[in-house]
Structure 1
Amino acid sequence: MSNIKIFVAHDEEKTITVDNPIYQNVITQNVENSKFIQMNTGDNISDKYKKYQELTIQYWAWKNIDADYYGLCTQNKYLSFSTNNIRNNQKTNFEFPAPYFDEHPTIDPPIKFEYLNNANIQKLNLFEQAMKDTIESYDMIITSHLNWDITIMQQFDVPSVLDNKLKVALELIDEFSPEFSKVAHEYFNGYVYYPGQLYVMSKDLFNDYCKWNFKILDELEKRIDFSHYSVEGLKVLYYISERLLGVYYTYLKNQNKYKLKEVDWCEIEHVETQDPILPAFIDNKEAILFCFDNNFIIPAAATIMSLINTSTDENQYDIICFNKNLAQTNKDLLSRLTKEKNNISLRFYDIGFIMSNYPSPHLRENIPWSIDVYSKFLIFEILASYNKVLYLDTDLILMDDISYLLNLDLTGYYLAACPDLGIISNSSKMPWMYNYLTKKINLTNEFIYTNAGVSLFNIQEIINDQINFGDNLLQTLFDTAKQLHLAQEQDIINELFHKKTYYLDLNWNIYSFLGTSKNTISKKLYKEWLPEYLYKQCIAAIQNPKIIHYVADGKPWNYPDYALANYWWDAIRGTEIYELAINLQIKNTATKYTQKIIQDFLNIQ
């Protein structure tokens, strides 16, 4: 059996890997006690990484590792060993005159995935035996070629490298390896290009290629004055080597004596991995969870600010923010809110990768669930080290210290939440809603349905109950979600947890529209259709709200004059969040005004 080693270049340790012994994960930085292989041992050029990039790994493998086949890829670029056409990216051509050394790459791969999850690993067929069967059948495997509308030589006519060093490389080929001259001239002045510097070669070819490749690069390095090169310009040796690989492959191809194969390659958009989330405080295993994206940063900041405003020094608040690709500027914004509070921890956890491993449930056909909906399911996997987790929507304001909720004794209960007055009243009014609650999601009666916007989960009680949820709670949740639900995850939480739910006082989740005498529709609906005891609780809760929930469309950041919106604005007044919210108001007003002008103009026409 052949000894095959494909070296994977990792810029950081917190990056995804493929569970396959063929892949040898190598760290490009000097890191003590790294879990990856380090290339600064033996004969190496690790100190030249700025110029040679992943070629430092190629050199190290050439000088220090014995194998039958050698390959190279990176943490976000892999060769595809799929036997099927899995191309999913139409844009694969170079766009001229956009400079190749621009900080935004202009080369797109034929295959693009957001994450290297199990499903995509299977699509790429990155399994040991399948890869061995393919690799052992060929002398060299390289990326499928591109046909461009400019020559390879023209790719280097860019200001960032001061002058075209590919011409110098061609002169060196003529000087040191004339047997490659004809092929090199044709390839550099042609339109066929093999991108990515991804390959697998037999031992003999790899040694031959490295000897030739590094001879040219070494001489080229001596003839270039790098004194005034930019960070990107310093990589010119790496980019030239990428073209040398194409020359070498074409040279072998012209000899007609080697078994060669071109395969598609894949680029992974997000390769970062997350550290496990453990309690931030030694004596506190209760967490507060928010989930939002970049579009909801101002409301989320306001909710967190209200938590800070109502916090007490004797309590600890372990805040975790589930997100997907949250911008660093937004993380910094939220972190500044708590920086003076030693008893408040605020951390971020990107749930994108975990989400990608589960099929997206749908609210309606072709409408996938949003990230905040997913988050409640992932609590039980990501936050399994906690005793309780308080999930809070980010369209609410805290009026009281939530330590009361965090300290509740939920022994024997899965969940603590408030009854959902809107759903309950409608189920009393509309027979189809009653049937949905009692037959579709199997509630014992319609009056126990809860709102998920404020949910205190008893994590250990839930994950230890294998009788009701099996060995894989997360899978149970997603299996239940395969059927369409009116209120998405809220229905599923009610379906699975209603038999052990602790009902909170309504003032812990009071709807904002109840706080004004102008809104008579909902109050009339509640008075006519709610059980008397719930209606009385509702009226009492309005007088002493502990959490104001801005449900439906009346969001205070959009409508400052709506019911109880003043509490939202008071929470952020005097902070940088206030200025951002004002700016959002101005933008919204300007947009609406512009739209009106355009519509009036169209009506005239």
Structure 2
Amino acid sequence: MYMPLHVGAALHPDVLPDWVQDNTGDNISDRNAKYSELTGLYWLWKNNDSDYQGIVHYRRHFGTANRLTRITHRDHFDRVAGSEETLGLLEDSDIILPHKRNYYIETIYSHYAHTFPGKQLDATRSIIAERQPEYLASFDSLMAGKRAHMFNMFIMSREKLGEYCTWLFPILEELGERIDDSGYDAFNVRYPGRISEMLLDVWLNTRGYAYSELPVISPEPVNWAKKGSGFLLAKFGGKKYAKSF
């Protein structure tokens, strides 16, 4: 079910030479510093013909819906959803997504504006208003809400993934033209990848596709104290994020 894919292979060709590389065929591998895992998504869209396609990350995977399995198996990878479970979900749903993330005391917009430059979302809204106005109501609703499907994790049919990518990548391309990132460091220049996490629900809610949700499993320890303190410092202390938690 899973195919390891080396993203950003054009920038780091010697890191994982035995894996499938995202710098073959039609690709944007050299944009990985900005697009993060989206260079892998683009490669999948343009070069893979599997009936169902999607992406997860080395730090995040879809967990099984079986709560007992998640509790009793100590190995994180034993808790990951497999092909039988995901195919079963796709019989009744168009797309598989992670459970929504809830920001509780922040809207999606205010959280981003506290942690990164809000002008990036403002520019994204302008692009959608100009180029895809039928998606604007969904964008505004998402920005005003507190919950969203994050992390760029999903599984869907090849046709729907193609539809999503055809919509997504031109928006990100235009965003790159409008944002002057010449002064950004390596962490902040990844804004197209971050913005795309919020655009998935904009597309999904406008199209009206049915979806199922699965929990997210992290094979690495998560420092919730650092995540929580970073969140609060951003909201109440005006301190932008400078690294991932």
TM-score after normalising by structure 1 = 0.34
Aligned pair partner of 1:197 in 152, 155, 160: 152
Q: What is the letter of the counterpart of residue 74 of structure 1?
A: H
CA contact 2:31–2:39 (8 Å) conserved in 1: yes
Corresponding residue for residue 210 of structure 2: 259
Corresponding residue for residue 177 of structure 1: 132
Corresponding residue for residue 230 of structure 2: none
Separation of aligned partners in 2, 1:180 and 1:52: 22
Corresponding residue for residue 27 of structure 1: 6
Aligned pair partner of 2:173 in 218, 229, 238: 218
State the shift of 1:122 in Å: 3.1
Q: Deviations over 1:576-604 (max 9, x none)?
A: xxxxxxxxxxxxxxxxxxxxxxxxxxxxx
Q: Deviations over 1:218-277 (max 9, x none)?
A: 11011111110122110111110000012122223xx3xx4311211111216xxxxxxx
State the shift of 1:85 in Å: 6.5
5+ residue gaps, structure 1, are 1-21, 89-116, 271-605
Q: Deviations over 1:453-474 (max 9, x none)?
A: xxxxxxxxxxxxxxxxxxxxxx
Q: Deviations over 1:372-409 (max 9, x none)?
A: xxxxxxxxxxxxxxxxxxxxxxxxxxxxxxxxxxxxxx
Separation of aligned partners in 1, 2:98 and 2:155: 10
Separation of aligned partners in 1, 2:152 and 2:97: 8
Given the superposition, is the C-alpha separation of residues 85 and 199 from structure 1 closer, same or farther in structure 2, using an over 3 Å criterion?
A: farther
SS class of match (1:172):
helix
SS class of match (1:70):
strand
Matched, 1:71 2:50: no
SS class of match (1:228):
coil
Corresponding residue for residue 101 of structure 2: 146
Q: Deviations over 1:57-105 (max 9, x none)?
A: 00111111112111111112101233337777xxxxxxxxxxxxxxxxx
Corresponding residue for residue 300 of structure 1: none
Separation of aligned partners in 1, 2:115 and 2:59: 28
Paired residues for 1:99-498 under 5 Å: 119-124=75-80, 126-148=81-103, 149-158=105-114, 160-161=116-117, 163-252=118-207, 255=208, 258-269=209-220
Corresponding residue for residue 83 of structure 1: 66
Q: What is the letter of the counterpart of residue 81 of structure 1?
A: T
Separation of aligned partners in 2, 1:170 and 1:237: 13
Separation of aligned partners in 1, 2:68 and 2:148: 20
Corresponding residue for residue 43 of structure 2: 60
Q: State which structure, 1 or 2, has the greater radius of gyration over its C-alpha atoms.
A: 1
CA contact 2:27–2:42 (8 Å) conserved in 1: yes
CA contact 2:52–2:156 (8 Å) conserved in 1: yes
CA contact 2:79–2:217 (8 Å) conserved in 1: no
Separation of aligned partners in 2, 1:135 and 1:38: 28
Separation of aligned partners in 2, 1:214 and 1:66: 19
5+ residue gaps, structure 2, are 222-245
SS class of match (1:138):
coil
Q: What is the letter of the counterpart of residue 264 of structure 1?
A: P
State the shift of 1:190 in Å: 1.2
Given the superposition, is the C-alpha separation of residues 159 and 137 from structure 1 closer, same or farther in structure 2, using an over 3 Å criterion?
A: closer
Higher helix content, 1 or 2 = 2
Separation of aligned partners in 1, 2:70 and 2:140: 31
Given the superposition, is the C-alpha separation of residues 85 and 242 from structure 1 closer, same or farther in structure 2, using an over 3 Å criterion?
A: farther
CA contact 1:82–1:123 (8 Å) conserved in 2: no
CA contact 2:28–2:42 (8 Å) conserved in 1: yes
Given the superposition, is the C-alpha separation of residues 233 and 248 from structure 1 closer, same or farther in structure 2, using an over 3 Å criterion?
A: same
Corresponding residue for residue 49 of structure 1: 32
Separation of aligned partners in 2, 1:83 and 1:55: 29
State the shift of 1:127 in Å: 3.0
CA contact 2:89–2:96 (8 Å) conserved in 1: no
State the shift of 1:130 in Å: 3.1
State the shift of 1:119 in Å: 4.0
Separation of aligned partners in 2, 1:71 and 1:143: 12
CA contact 2:76–2:217 (8 Å) conserved in 1: no
Corresponding residue for residue 228 of structure 2: none
CA contact 1:156–1:165 (8 Å) conserved in 2: no
Q: What is the letter of the counterpart of residue 222 of structure 1?
A: E
Q: Deviations over 1:96-135 (max 9, x none)?
A: xxxxxxxxxxxxxxxxxxxxx88433333x3333333333
Separation of aligned partners in 2, 1:75 and 1:268: 8
SS class of match (2:113):
coil
Given the superposition, is the C-alpha separation of residues 249 and 85 from structure 1 closer, same or farther in structure 2, using an over 3 Å criterion?
A: farther
Q: Deviations over 1:152-209 (max 9, x none)?
A: 1112224754x52111101111111111111111111211121211111112211111
Separation of aligned partners in 1, 2:139 and 2:197: 13
Q: How many residues align?
A: 216
Corresponding residue for residue 449 of structure 1: none
TM-score after normalising by structure 2 = 0.80
Percent identity over the alignment is 28
Corresponding residue for residue 109 of structure 1: none
SS class of match (2:67):
coil
Separation of aligned partners in 2, 1:217 and 1:131: 29
Given the superposition, is the C-alpha separation of residues 158 and 34 from structure 1 closer, same or farther in structure 2, using an over 3 Å criterion?
A: same
